[in-house]
Structure 1
Amino acid sequence: MNIFLLYHDYIPITGFACNGELVLTLEEKFMHNDNEPLLDRKSAAKYLRVSPGTLAVWDCTKRYDLKPIKIGRAVRYRRADLDKFIEQRLST
């Protein structure tokens, strides 16, 4: 999924377009497609049992590919990606 295209295709507010079509925020679009809520950094860190600072360092240094989704300044994670990370760590 190309985040760049999604960001430019949708108006960043929830509401209705002139033709009556519902317009979703980018975050709502991600939640709607995957049927699972996105976790913020604090929630993702708690889920992985690490500090939010550790998660930020991992993202910045690309130590682990947790596939963070950046929405403006906000960073979100899919639970499925975090579960995949845990499985990879258990198998090594």
Structure 2
Amino acid sequence: MKLVEPPSCSSLSTIVFIGRNRRGQWVAQEQHGLYGGLFVSRAQAIKYALFENGRHPETIVELPREIELDMARSPTPDISHRAA
């Protein structure tokens, strides 16, 4: 039996951007930085995006410009540094 991680996405409105980075690798990244990855082909980037977003192709957006994978981005605002 093959174990598979459950999709990271729980909302149908989650957008996944795909495109190439400056090195020509394919990038898939959820709009808020919840998940993402680098891929050798467009097909693999789309397959990953579909798995993560619960099989909703309508929420995948292919960008005509370069996209860089940003895994340092915080998916939620950091409220610990807000002024009172």
Same fold (TM over 0.5): no
TM-score, scaled to structure 1: 0.24
- Greater strand share, 1 or 2? 2
Higher Cα radius of gyration: 1
Structure with more relative contact order (C-alpha pairs < 8 Å, separation 6 or more)? 2
